[in-house]
Structure 1
Amino acid sequence: MATTILVFRVDGMHCGSCALLIDDALEDLPGVGTTQTTVKQGRCTVELDADLSGSQDVIAVIEELGYRAVRCDD
């Protein structure tokens, strides 16, 4: 199955536990393969099934956890 990679800037993370919390929550979303969130870079990389337009779903999950997220185009 084809996948697509989305990158998000995440504000409000303070430690590695914040990144783990985000990764755990995103991996529960249907269609999400892998995630990698780093506090140092303030980024979250998400691998999704290519047929999903999950950008808004990803942002919603991150914001429900109390962080701010914006999709990056890099």
Structure 2
Amino acid sequence: MTLRLEFTVSGMHCTSCGLLIDDEIEELPGVSASTTNLRTERTVVELDRPIPAEQIIEAIATAGYTATVVS
């Protein structure tokens, strides 16, 4: 079973920003994929197992961006 979380991300300026975010998120244990879209300012994360959304938000912050969970 694959779980999905979606986040709004602010501070991106180019496609490379999205790649940096995805690289940081995909380093987290339990993450199978991350897809960030500059145009929609959204990141969709697919998980193999549940992990706290705060952990993903922290990874996005490490990349230099701000994120919130889409409800």
TM-score range, shorter chain: over 0.9
Alignment correspondent of 1:4: 3
Alignment map for 1:1-74 (pairs within 5 Å): 2-50=1-49, 52-73=50-71
2:45 partner SS: strand
Consecutive unaligned residues in structure 2, runs of 5 or more: none
Identity of aligned residues (%): 44
Deviation at 1:66, TM superposition (A): 1.3
Deviation at 1:49, TM superposition (A): 2.1
Q: TM-score, normalised by structure 1?
A: 0.89
2:36–2:44 contact (8 Å) kept in structure 1: yes
The count of aligned residue pairs is 71
1:13–1:67 contact (8 Å) kept in structure 2: yes
Equivalent residue letter for 2:69: R
Equivalent residue letter for 1:36: T
Q: TM-score, normalised by structure 2?
A: 0.93
Q: Aligned-residue CA RMSD in angstroms?
A: 1.0
